Amino acid sequence: MTLALIVLAAGKGTRMNSDLPKVLHPIAGAPMLVHALRAGAALEPERICVVTGHGAGAVEAAALEHDPDIKAARQDTQLGTAHAVAQARAVLEGHDGDAIVLYGDTPFIQPETLKRMIEARSSADLVALGFDAADPGRYGRLVMDGEALERIVEFKDATEEERAITFCNSGVIAADCDTLFDLIDAVGNDNAAGEYYLTDIIGVARARGLRATAIACDEAETLGVNSRAELAAAEALFQARARAAAFEDGVTFYAPGSVFFSFDTVLGRDALIEQNVVFGPGVTVESGAHIRAFSHLEGCHVARGAIVGPYARLRPGAELAEDVRVGNFVEIKNASLDAGAKVNHLSYVGDADLGAGCNVGAGSVTCNYDGVRKHRTQIGAGAFIGSGTMLIAPVTVGEDAMTGSGSVITQDVPDGALALARARQITKPGLARRLMAMFRSSKETNHEEAI
């Protein structure tokens, strides 16, 4: 059976008090919308339609950046969830299969839950997703008769008896695509808000003799984000889940509550992560690697046995091979370090390739930018870069070559050669004391003149 996703992302999010569309507020380094899309993508949908409205251009751009095959439909006037789903009709024209309605501001629905909904479709025409709420509050209620879902009633329209129900509506619905749109056509807006509710399709379906049911998921999966406080709570929930999953995968943490993950962080078994480490998007740390305290990683790959930090920064394009050492206050960007290479102290390595076993001394810099273009530095296997070396790219230092400390290297260094590029030291005996005496005398004279 083929599947389509309809992701509703048209809301303004007034309570966020932001110029940014609500669904683009980030959790773990990715917009909420992307989290919803990732959950649905696990079902390998044939088509995906994102329904946009407020900030439509920005929302559509974010969706396309995540998946260029996504199509968008616009809800220019927000008249309710049924009206929003109806806007996807043209995009899904000719789709022969099911559709699942998701929400861009509900980022934690799990792929396994969506798979259970599809499985439940084998015995029901419509499947709703519900949860047992600890505090039902103003959620819509699922009115059940055994396994059959009779109707979904919004809180503002519910009777006292219906408000006593704790099985609540997440808003997620699965149905045959043609059936879904056919039912939506019959939905009216005779309710307290004057809106077209997607939930009303259950009552319409029952009246037509169709079968509806509901499955339950953990309440945390249905967490919606409507305010900054809820956004912070969602971030905390994501981080707690990510840490728990990493523990299960065999990762060791010194202070897990101080480590922050991105939505796509991958940590291998027996990786050791010290305190106050931040993983930005696009990080893979292989088994047995060690990330020391206060390091920040993004867009990089760290291989087995590598040690990073403390206080190191790995930026996008950093590729660390096995047993590489990147030490304190070192920054690596768009550079590959082959097995056993070492950059241990206070250095910047950008747009470079470092050979196996080479050693870059403290305070060295690959000077990669000429003000207009970036240039690359090549350092051969076994090379030794003396402390404080400035490598003016494009430049190559050959295998087993050396540079003297404090050198400014502007020309290629052949294999096995020593390059010294600094002025000869000149020493003037006694001159320091005479100069200081002159400086102090000048200062006292100027002070007296000022008085």
Residues noted as catalytic: 345
Nearest Cα residue to 109 out of 165, 174, 65, 194: 174
Nearest Cα residue to 6 out of 184, 140, 251: 184
**Spatial distance between the Cα atoms of 316 and 284, rounded to a whole number of angstroms:** 12
CA 211 to chain centre: 39
Do 148 and 139 meet the contact criterion of CB atoms below 8 Å apart?
no
Sign of the CA dihedral running 362, 334, 29, 216: negative
Q: Which two tokens stand for residue 41?
A: 């993508």
Q: What residues have CB less than 8 Å from 147, skipping those under 6 apart?
A: 213
**Spatial distance between the Cα atoms of 31 and 50, rounded to a whole number of angstroms:** 14
What does the radius of gyration of the chain's CA atoms come to, in whole angstroms?
31
Do 202 and 151 meet the contact criterion of CB atoms below 8 Å apart?
yes
Q: Which two tokens stand for residue 328?
A: 């304190």
106 exposure class (CB count in 10 Å sphere: 0-12, 13-18, 19+): buried
Do 274 and 256 meet the contact criterion of CB atoms below 8 Å apart?
no
**Spatial distance between the Cα atoms of 76 and 83, rounded to a whole number of angstroms:** 11
For the CA atoms of 4, 10, 14, 17, the dihedral, rounded to the nearest 10 degrees, stands at 90
Nearest Cα residue to 368 out of 360, 359, 380, 376: 376
**Spatial distance between the Cα atoms of 42 and 409, rounded to a whole number of angstroms:** 51
b vs e for 118-136, b when ≥16 Cβ sit within 10 Å of the residue's Cβ? eebbeebbbbbbbbebeeb
Q: What residues have CB less than 8 Å from 338, skipping those under 6 apart?
A: 321, 324, 353, 354, 355, 356, 357, 358, 381
Q: What does DSSP assign to residue 369?
A: B
Q: What residues have CB less than 8 Å from 444, skipping those under 6 apart?
A: none
CA 304 to chain centre: 23
Strand 148-153 versus strand 141-145 pairing type: antiparallel
Q: Which residue has the tokens 């809180």?
A: 155
